[in-house]
Chains A and B, each alone.
Chain A
């Protein structure tokens, strides 16, 4: 059997009384994408920083690309690319200079370095801005450059810490595509995110962590089945149609919808529910003013998994002593 690209056993990291990471084990097979999902302060960044050799675990071990993250940190660094939570590119250099510097640091000759930098800028649609200082880049451009910077060494293993936080939907999708291209080329990816949708779009497996502990893991489909993620919401154009609509929904889904204001909602695990509902409403001449199939928010996932809202997770776990 091939060794996992990333394999961690019982990683622990404390900061004073804060248990940032409290016994996380994970394993990512070569060419797979693992999405690490969790609210603020869950321990995502700390986990990634340990795996990327930036900070040593208090206990536990991990191997990345077959090398120990503590004893063989140097070899690990030669294999990985890291995109940190906050775009870490040099604002005072141009996009081209940023990539050039990293290629040079990785030991590439001058000419080859220029070639690598230009090619990546082209591929990340930054060619036009290549020779402008990063200071003037938009958030999306900066993020793309950040990702490009972590690809200069053509890494086999990629760590992405909330790569799309703060981006608008278009920029987010664009970044997803770029990450997807790398995955198609066989790169192993560990991705952290606060968006279920993002993990869903990119990850083969998802691991939900909170308070430094793994609270759920599995394929996106399995998790969704477990949680019942999607909700069908409808608001009839006329309030008079509410009762009739509710009756149709009950008949189709087998359970009564919840009513809130002029809005009816029902869990929609079955993809056939939406078209069936539309057809039936049409037959009855009911016009919906709003109709949507909504994915569960991270909050709802947490509610389902832990029985508590994720906003309560902002506080750090108090030490029992």
Chain B
């Protein structure tokens, strides 16, 4: 089966990513999910709990901002599976597959669009954080490093979302499952509180959670603490998640399309 050249495939990926971005115009709810929701979280946590948790809102903002970026990244990935499932259940996926389009382009398009959305919400959160008084201690390479690390992890974690999107019966189930699973995963971490403050029996889980590891790396990169170790572990996690979930997703997709 003489397929499609890489250049053509990438161009098609670009067109399909454009589609996923344009869709946002007609679905303000999705945009709200990764615009207003994290903003609301940031404002509520900093101004309501900040004093109680960290002694002052400023100190808590410094502590929490890198974590909320990580947490929001996890939630944004749900829309990769959501969009994919919508296409599968509506038959739109068939329309794409009946065109002379690279087999990987529809998925690559979704994931590319996801990275754009990720970029948008990182900028939004850091911008708001800056307005609220957040200042980084490291030079700009720290910020760049953090963004790259978060995007790499997002790319890997998207495969989990793809699998859910392929297996789920309808888009609502993707969302339900995504959010139900992500709340414990992101809360049992050091995003909102320092690890020392949780019960000892839970500390092991919190520290092993890749969300905590990534958050540690982000804090180090922005605020000037140690980061290299946690960044490397994050990359290992990303590689492991991809190695497990990418083949699994492709297998499940082939099965569903039988």
Inter-subunit contact A88/B94 (CB<8 Å): yes
Which of B22-30, B175-183, B204-212 is found at the contact surface with chain A? B22-30
Which of B12-20, B42-50, B65-73, B154-162 is found at the contact surface with chain A? B12-20
Give A99-127 as 1s and 0s: 1 = Cβ < 8 Å from B's Cβ atoms.
00110111100000000000000000000
B168–chain A nearest beta-carbon distance, Å: 19
Q: Is A218 an interface residue (CB 8 A)?
A: no
A159–chain B nearest beta-carbon distance, Å: 8
Inter-subunit contact A88/B92 (CB<8 Å): yes
Inter-subunit contact B3/A74 (CB<8 Å): yes
Within 8 A of B (CB), among A74-104: 74-75, 77-78, 80, 82, 84-86, 88-93, 97, 101-102, 104
Give B1-41 as 1s and 0s: 1 = Cβ < 8 Å from A's Cβ atoms.
11110001001100110110011011100000000000000
Given A55, A80, A90, A106, which contacts B19 in the complex, CB threshold below 8 Å?
A90
In the complex, what distance in Å separates the CA atom of A112 from the CA atom of B73?
38
Inter-subunit contact A53/B98 (CB<8 Å): yes
Inter-subunit contact B15/A54 (CB<8 Å): no
Q: Is A175 an interface residue (CB 8 A)?
A: no
Inter-subunit contact B15/A105 (CB<8 Å): yes
Q: Which residues of B contact A135 (CB under 8 A)?
A: 26
Q: Is B131 an interface residue (CB 8 A)?
A: no
Inter-subunit contact B258/A82 (CB<8 Å): no
Inter-subunit contact A84/B26 (CB<8 Å): no
In the complex, what distance in Å separates the CA atom of A54 from the CA atom of B8?
21
Inter-subunit contact B15/A93 (CB<8 Å): no
Inter-subunit contact B98/A106 (CB<8 Å): no
A307–chain B nearest beta-carbon distance, Å: 34
Inter-subunit contact A93/B23 (CB<8 Å): yes
In the complex, what distance in Å separates the CA atom of A92 from the CA atom of B83?
11
Inter-subunit contact B27/A92 (CB<8 Å): yes
B17–chain A nearest beta-carbon distance, Å: 11
In the complex, what distance in Å separates the CA atom of A57 from the CA atom of B101?
21
Q: Is B90 an interface residue (CB 8 A)?
A: yes
Give A48-67 as 1s and 0s: 1 = Cβ < 8 Å from B's Cβ atoms.
01001111000000000000
In the complex, what distance in Å separates the CA atom of A290 from the CA atom of B11?
62
Inter-subunit contact B98/A105 (CB<8 Å): no
Within 8 A of B (CB), among A153-184: 153
Q: Which residues of B contact A91 (CB under 8 A)?
A: 26, 90
Inter-subunit contact B23/A105 (CB<8 Å): no
Within 8 A of A (CB), among B51-81: none
In the complex, what distance in Å separates the CA atom of A107 from the CA atom of B11?
8
Q: Give the nearest-CB partner of B19 in chain A.
A: A101
Inter-subunit contact B2/A54 (CB<8 Å): no
In addition to A54-B94, A84-B95, A88-B90, 20 A-B residue pairs with Cβ atoms within 8 Å of each other are A54-B257, A71-B1, A72-B2, A73-B1, A74-B4, A77-B99, A78-B100, A82-B98, A88-B94, A90-B23, A90-B92, A92-B22, A92-B23, A93-B19, A93-B23, A93-B26, A101-B18, A105-B12, A105-B15, A135-B26
- Chain A interface (Cβ within 8 Å of chain B)? 49, 52-55, 71-75, 77-78, 80, 82, 84-86, 88-93, 97, 101-102, 104-107, 133, 135, 149-150, 153
Could you list some 23 contacts between A and B, CB below 8 A?
Answer: A49-B94, A53-B97, A54-B257, A55-B257, A55-B258, A72-B1, A74-B100, A82-B98, A86-B90, A88-B91, A88-B92, A89-B95, A90-B23, A91-B26, A92-B23, A92-B27, A93-B26, A97-B22, A102-B99, A105-B96, A105-B101, A106-B100, A153-B99
Nearest 6 pairs of A and B residues by beta carbon:
A88-B91, A92-B23, A77-B100, A92-B26, A82-B98, A104-B15
